[in-house]
Amino acid sequence: MAALVAALFLVLLAGGAFLPLLLTALPGAGGRLTDALGDPVIWRSLRFTLVQAVLSTGISLLLAVPVAAALHEFRGFPGRNHVLRLFALPLALPQIVAVLAIVGLYGQRGVWSRLAESVGLDFPSIYGLTGILIAHVFFNMPLAVRIALGGMASMPAEYDRLAHQLGMGFAARFRHVLWPFMRPALMSSASLIFMLCVTSFAVVLTLGGGPRATTLEVAIYQALTFDFDVVRAILLALVQVVVTAFAYSLLTRAGGSVSSGFTVGALRPFAVRHTPGGYLAAVLVVSFGVLFVLTPFVLIVWRGLSADLAGLVLQDSVRRAVTTSLLLGTLSAVLAVMLGLAFAAGVTRRAAARRFSGPQTGAERLFGQMSSLILVVPPVVIAAGWFMVIRRFADVYAAAPVMVVTINAAMAVPFAIRLLQPAALSAAERYDRLCRQLGLEGFDRLRLVTWPLLRRAIFLAFAFSLALSLGDLGVITIFGSQDVQTLPYLILQRMGSYRTQDAAGLALLLCVMTMALMMIADRGSEPNRAERTDRS
Amino acid sequence: MHRLTLFALSTAVLAGFSHVAQAQDKLTVYTYESFTAEWGPGPKVKEAFEATCACEVDFVSVADGVALLNRLRLEGGRTDADIVLGLDTNLTAEAKDSGFFAPHGLSTDAIDIPGGWSDDTFIPFDYGYFAVIYDTDAIENPPTSMHDFLKGREGMIAIQDPRTSTPGLGLMLWIRKIYGDLASEAYEELQKRVLTVTPGWSESYALFTSGEVPMVLSYTTSPAYHMIAEGTDRYQAAEFSEGHYMQIEVAGMTTKGADNPLAAQFLEFMMSPAFQDVIPETNWMLPAAATSEPLDPVFDKMVHPEKSLLFTPEEVAENREAWVEEWLEVMSR
């Protein structure tokens, strides 16, 4: 039921955007339909869109597997929590800020490039597919790691013990124990990453080196803004949704699902014995991953420090933007988590109906996975459509913040689902029967069973949704409200009027803010002391 | 249940954001976003105009000139705007066709821009020239003509995409104006000079100032910002002997504004020194009419093209799609 409401919400949001646009465009549309579909430029950009998205997803996953495995195996890793927090940060960066940082490292005059040149190595140009892939891996590899770790966290602790008793080496344990838990999580992150890359815009244009590298999203933007060819924009948006849905269903089929089994839960985490070689390999893998994700941030901090930070913080507009960002970000994150929970509950109920075994039903796939398709509906289309609707009935300026919250929340739902789903499923699978036997339901069940089990996942989903909303430029430009200026909006505004230094300072501010929020969310996700003593 | 409360709560909280100004005499001006920024011309223009009219100016800003026209189209003619300020001449033909604008009925004798001005609907408020800006630390022999630039081998340039950006469109029209039907060969040369094509001006200019690329497509007046605000003359504009393509930014009165006497008053004010004085050092463009005092001497050091190039709005409206397609075809190879 809750899942239906949540699904309806997303369908309404997307459908409500298409309908008014179609109504204005339809009279006299006829010939332009075939016109758009016969355009070779469209097909070329579609092909490029898919190629770069597949490659970006593949490489992100390929790198995420060893990093996630190393982080899972060595839970006592020094600074592991900081690494996990760091891995949530890229999402909060507006694309252009990340692009500039990546160029500062790998570009013509980049830090690494000059370093390579100084030792006589030829550093290849990043403009083209290379640059696009670097940027997309930077955004998405950490995401895949977090989701994979979430999947593995639902593994019963006994499995480690058993593997140890059987004398399994790392290779065997990876194959028989870790991988079965990692694979569904990886595939679920793969579909997410794929969609994020399909809609990539600023990264692809800026690092692509020219119009050879063009995604459909660019064509949609062009059609809707420069040409105001609404029919074409809608048509291309539909092509994008349908093609992604197809690619997506292939991915989910490859994912499969996993039964999380029964755990006593009270056992202390079991220390897996490690060889020095294994430890060294893990250190290397994690260091590489951290270095790759951290260095752009180091550059952002470095550049930000040269700005007049004190002056910036004192500016009214900056303070207002920070407040607005926090307020809107928090609201959309809360909404996203609620919607995510509703979806997870729906899927869990259906999974319970098939006793957590056998293939997923159509309804499960629809709720858990296809809802993510909202990500590939271009925000310009949603914003333009809703603008037309809202204008008729209400004040658009007042509605602007509500729309920002709603659209950002909808865009964060796919992330939230992926982080909440594994935890919700395993909670239900392990405790459903017990709860029923004990007659535990309603609020008591929520307090005693669901909340303690889902708490980590909820906070994590909240943190990710918040990061995503903080970094999103949103739809605010379409609504044109002076009063709703977020921090990323301000960054772009400063960059647009020669104030590069200010923009660098604001980017630093955004990073610090997000990092602080991550730490707060992490703290919240830890079980409190009373509970801990209870358990031991 | 929780969701409902949340929605009610957020709506209530956020409704507080919107100011419901109910002043009797109000002028609503749609413009682009950097115009209303705190360092932009907007705040000063508002103050100066409100001092003369005992009214309230309400700015509504969208991303850029293209988004302005779009906004009107999305509103389908039922706009709040009395004045739309910030379209450029590449958009005015389409804007006129839309039927959203009313003739201004004012004398534009005060307007002083190269090539003169006569239009019954739109009035310019500033203008500028596109130019290749180069980093003197990285370029020893700046190009002296478009030909020289296209054939040159020293340093690369960051340009903008004509599908998403006004300066990007400007460069395309510039080349088209110089080379006519041979433009596609010129694009082939251009392609060899381009490091990357960004969606907007900000991205390429940031690449330029961060040292990644030694040249960028911008405006002849860009160096003035660096000289006045940053005190450096490191960045210079290259003067091209074929002439420079112009961008003229205009404002017009909507059909709704035609019923508001403040609208015509504002357009009149726009041509006066009180408005024009603000433009050079806030919008970093050249004033379209007399200012009360001479401009900062830095502006004399800017490139003053001997020849200004410009297509008529009708030519652009008619050919833009085909020309962009041609650009795309060559640049995608």
Q: How confident is the model at residue B275 (pLDDT cuts 50, 70, 90)?
A: very high
CA atoms of B278 and B269, how far apart (whole Å) = 12
Name the residue among A5, A477, A496 with its Cβ closest to that of B62.
Answer: A477
The two tokens of residue B67 are 């988004």
Q: Is A279 helix (H, G, I), strand (E, B) or coil?
A: helix
Mean pLDDT to the nearest integer, B49-59: 91
Residue A302 sits in the same domain as residue A386: no
Q: Do B198 and A110 touch (CB under 8 A)?
A: no
Beta-ladder partners of B132: B217, B238
Q: What is the pLDDT of residue B308?
A: 94
Residue A533 pLDDT > 50: no
CA atoms of B203 and B158, how far apart (whole Å) = 9
Residue B94 pLDDT > 70: yes
Residue in B closest to A317 by C-alpha: B38
The two tokens of residue A265 are 């839960």
Using alpha carbons only, give the angle A289, A291, A294 rounded to the nearest 5 degrees: 105
Q: How far is CA B310 from CA A423, A476, B130, in A?
A: 63, 33, 11
**Sign of the CA dihedral with A123 first, then A128, A131, and A137 last:** negative
Contact B184, B127 (CB under 8 A): no
Residue in A closest to B37 by C-alpha: A493
> What's the gap in Å between the CA of B243 and the closest CA on chain A?
25
Q: Is A439 left (phi over 0), alpha (psi -120 to 50) or beta?
A: left
Name the residue among A210, A387, A481 with its Cβ closest to that of B194.
Answer: A210
Q: What is the pLDDT of residue A295?
A: 95
Residue A384 in contact with partner chain B when CB distance is under 8 A: yes
Residue A74 sits in the same domain as residue A20: no
Q: What is the pLDDT of residue A483?
A: 67
The two tokens of residue A401 are 């913040």
Residue A220 sits in the same domain as residue A318: no
Interface test with B, best of A108, A326, A387, A492 (most B CBs within 10 A): A108
Q: Do B6 and A327 touch (CB under 8 A)?
A: no
Domain boundary among A289, A306, A323: A306
| Cβ neighbours of B272 (radius 10 Å) | 17
Residues of A with Cβ-Cβ distance to B59 under 8 angstroms = 482
**Sign of the CA dihedral with A359 first, then A362, A365, and A370 last:** positive
Q: What is the pLDDT of residue A449?
A: 79
Q: How confident is the model at residue A530 (pLDDT cuts 50, 70, 90)?
A: very low
Residue A56 sits in the same domain as residue A44: yes
> What's the gap in Å between the CA of B221 and the closest CA on chain A?
12
Residue-wise burial string across B11-33, b where 16 or more C-beta atoms lie within 10 A, e elsewhere? eeebeebbeeeeeeeebbbbbbb
| Closest to A90 in 3D by CA, of A105, A80, A101 | A101
CA atoms of A286 and A74, how far apart (whole Å) = 10
Q: What is the pLDDT of residue B254?
A: 95
| pLDDT tens digits for range A178-226 | 888 888 888 888 888 998 899 888 888 889 888 888 888 888 888 887 7
Residue A493 in contact with partner chain B when CB distance is under 8 A: yes
Q: How confident is the model at residue B12 (pLDDT cuts 50, 70, 90)?
A: very low
Name the residue among A202, A207, A226 with its Cβ closest to that of B66.
Answer: A226
> What's the gap in Å between the CA of B232 and the closest CA on chain A?
13
Mean pLDDT to the nearest integer, A457-473: 83
Mean pLDDT to the nearest integer, B311-318: 94
Q: Where are the alpha helices (DSSP H) in A439-450?
A: 442-445
Residue A243 sits in the same domain as residue A332: no
| Closest to B101 in 3D by CA, of B287, B313, B309 | B313
Chain A contacts in chain B segment 53-72 (CB below 8 A): 59-63, 66-67, 69-71
| Closest to B194 in 3D by CA, of B164, B162, B156, B168 | B156
Residue that is written with structure tokens 């690619």 in the block: A247
Q: What is the pLDDT of residue B3?
A: 41
The two tokens of residue A121 are 């190595």
Residue in A closest to B159 by C-alpha: A210
Name the residue among A205, A221, A498 with its Cβ closest to that of B225.
Answer: A498
Q: What is the pLDDT of residue A391?
A: 81
Tell me the pLDDT of chain B averaged across its residues: 89
CA atoms of A210 and A44, how far apart (whole Å) = 14
Q: What is the pLDDT of residue B37?
A: 86
Of A22-36, A126-140, A190-204, A221-235, the one with minimum mean pLDDT is A22-36
CA atoms of A112 and A99, how far apart (whole Å) = 15
Q: How confident is the model at residue B13 (pLDDT cuts 50, 70, 90)?
A: very low
Q: What is the pLDDT of residue B291?
A: 95
Chain B contacts in chain A segment 77-96 (CB below 8 A): 96
> What's the gap in Å between the CA of B37 and the closest CA on chain A?
8
Q: What is the pLDDT of residue B53?
A: 87
Q: What is the pLDDT of residue A392?
A: 80
Residue A361 sits in the same domain as residue A214: no
Residue that is written with structure tokens 């949603």 in the block: A382
Residue A224 sits in the same domain as residue A124: yes
Q: How confident is the model at residue A331 (pLDDT cuts 50, 70, 90)?
A: very high
Q: What is the pLDDT of residue A386?
A: 86
CA atoms of B295 and A325, how far apart (whole Å) = 39
> What's the gap in Å between the CA of B213 and the closest CA on chain A?
8
In angstroms and rounded to an integer, the radius of gyration of the C-alpha atoms of chain B is 21
The two tokens of residue A173 are 């344990």
Residue A299 sits in the same domain as residue A335: no
Mean pLDDT to the nearest integer, A415-432: 82
Residue A85 sits in the same domain as residue A3: no
Q: Do B225 and A391 touch (CB under 8 A)?
A: no
Residue B213 in contact with partner chain A when CB distance is under 8 A: yes
Helix, strand, coil share of chain B (percent; to 5): 45, 20, 35
> What's the gap in Å between the CA of B68 and the closest CA on chain A?
9
Mean pLDDT to the nearest integer, B7-31: 57
Of A363-372, A463-472, B57-66, B298-307, the one with minimum mean pLDDT is A363-372
Q: What is the pLDDT of residue A268?
A: 46
Beta strands in chain B (DSSP E): 26-32, 56-62, 83-88, 101-102, 122-135, 157-160, 194-198, 215-219, 235-238, 244-254, 286-287, 308-309
Of A228-242, A299-313, B35-49, the one with minimum mean pLDDT is A228-242
Chain A contacts in chain B segment 243-262 (CB below 8 A): none
**Sign of the CA dihedral with B135 first, then B277, B92, and A390 last:** positive
Q: How confident is the model at residue B170 (pLDDT cuts 50, 70, 90)?
A: very high
Q: What is the pLDDT of residue A275?
A: 78
Residue B49 pLDDT > 90: yes
Residue in B closest to A97 by C-alpha: B203
| pLDDT tens digits for range A96-108 | 889 999 999 999 8
| pTM of the entire predicted model | 0.86
Q: How high is the ipTM of this complex?
A: 0.83
Q: Is B84 helix (H, G, I), strand (E, B) or coil?
A: strand
Contact A422, A154 (CB under 8 A): yes
The structural domain count of chain A equals 2
Report helix angle B65-75 to B89-97, nearest 10: 10
Contact B253, B102 (CB under 8 A): yes
Q: Is B289 helix (H, G, I), strand (E, B) or coil?
A: strand
Q: What is the pLDDT of residue B17?
A: 42
Using alpha carbons only, give the angle B201, A126, A300 rounded to the nearest 5 degrees: 65
Q: Do B37 and A497 touch (CB under 8 A)?
A: yes
Residue that is written with structure tokens 């028989």 in the block: A176
Residues of B with Cβ-Cβ distance to A206 under 8 angstroms = 196, 198-199, 203, 207
Residues of A with Cβ-Cβ distance to B200 under 8 angstroms = 496
Q: Do B332 and A317 touch (CB under 8 A)?
A: no
Domain boundary among A271, A306, A341: A306
Identify the top-confidence range among A202-216, A436-450, B110-124.
Answer: B110-124
Interface test with A, best of B35, B281, B332 (most A CBs within 10 A): B332
Q: Do A206 and B198 touch (CB under 8 A)?
A: yes
Amino acid at B131: A
Q: How far is CA A300 from CA A97, A466, A519, in A?
A: 8, 20, 20
Report helix angle A230-255 to A2-25, nearest 10: 150
The two tokens of residue A392 are 């008729």
Residues of B with Cβ-Cβ distance to A498 under 8 angstroms = 205, 222, 225-226, 229, 284
Residue A10 in contact with partner chain B when CB distance is under 8 A: no
Q: Would you give the DSSP letter of residue B311?
A: -
**Secondary element (H or E) of residue A453:** helix A451-471
Q: What is the pLDDT of residue B112?
A: 94
Count the alpha carbons within 13 Å of B202 in the hemisphere toward its beta carbon: 24
Tell me the pLDDT of chain A averaged across its residues: 82
Give the whole-number percent of chain A exceeding pLDDT 90: 18
Q: How confident is the model at residue B311 (pLDDT cuts 50, 70, 90)?
A: very high
Chain A with chain B: Cβ pairs closer than 8 A:
176
| Closest to B135 in 3D by CA, of B211, B195, B197, B190 | B211
**Secondary element (H or E) of residue A420:** helix A396-438
The two tokens of residue A524 are 């919240």
* DSSP β-ladder status, B83-88 and B26-32: parallel
CA atoms of A465 and A312, how far apart (whole Å) = 26
Q: Do A496 and B207 touch (CB under 8 A)?
A: no
Name the residue among B2, B39, B222 with its Cβ closest to that of A338.
Answer: B2
Q: Which domain holds residue A233?
A: 39-306
Cα A422 → chain centroid: 16
Residues of A with Cβ-Cβ distance to B210 under 8 angstroms = 100, 103-104, 109, 500
Q: Do A480 and B61 touch (CB under 8 A)?
A: yes
CA atoms of A137 and A86, how far apart (whole Å) = 15
Residue A389 sits in the same domain as residue A464: yes
Residue A20 sits in the same domain as residue A91: no
CA atoms of B135 and A517, how far apart (whole Å) = 40
Cα B127 → chain centroid: 8
Domain boundary among A273, A306, A339: A306
Chain B contacts in chain A segment 88-147 (CB below 8 A): 96, 99-100, 103-104, 107-110, 127
CA atoms of A394 and A402, how far apart (whole Å) = 12
Distance separating the N- and C-terminal Cα atoms of chain A = 38
Burial classification of residue A434, based on how many CB atoms lie within 10 Å of its CB (0-12 exposed, 13-18 middle, 19 or more buried)? exposed
Q: How confident is the model at residue B46 (pLDDT cuts 50, 70, 90)?
A: very high
Residue A217 sits in the same domain as residue A263: yes
| Closest to A333 in 3D by CA, of A416, A250, A224, A265 | A416
CATH of the domain at A220: 1.10.3720.10
Q: Do A41 and B328 touch (CB under 8 A)?
A: yes
Mean pLDDT to the nearest integer, A434-445: 80
The two tokens of residue B136 are 């003197």
| Closest to A188 in 3D by CA, of A12, A64, A98, A342 | A64
Q: Do B14 and A384 touch (CB under 8 A)?
A: no
Give the whole-number percent of chain B exceeding pLDDT 90: 74
Q: Do B76 and A96 touch (CB under 8 A)?
A: no
| pLDDT tens digits for range A68-102 | 999 888 877 788 888 988 998 888 788 888 999 99
Count the alpha carbons within 13 Å of A160 in the hemisphere toward its beta carbon: 20
Residue B207 in contact with partner chain A when CB distance is under 8 A: yes
Higher pLDDT, A478 or A140: A140
| Closest to A154 in 3D by CA, of A183, A129, A197, A175 | A183
The two tokens of residue A55 are 């490659």
CA atoms of B283 and B41, how far apart (whole Å) = 6
Residue B8 in contact with partner chain A when CB distance is under 8 A: no
Q: How confident is the model at residue B9 (pLDDT cuts 50, 70, 90)?
A: very low
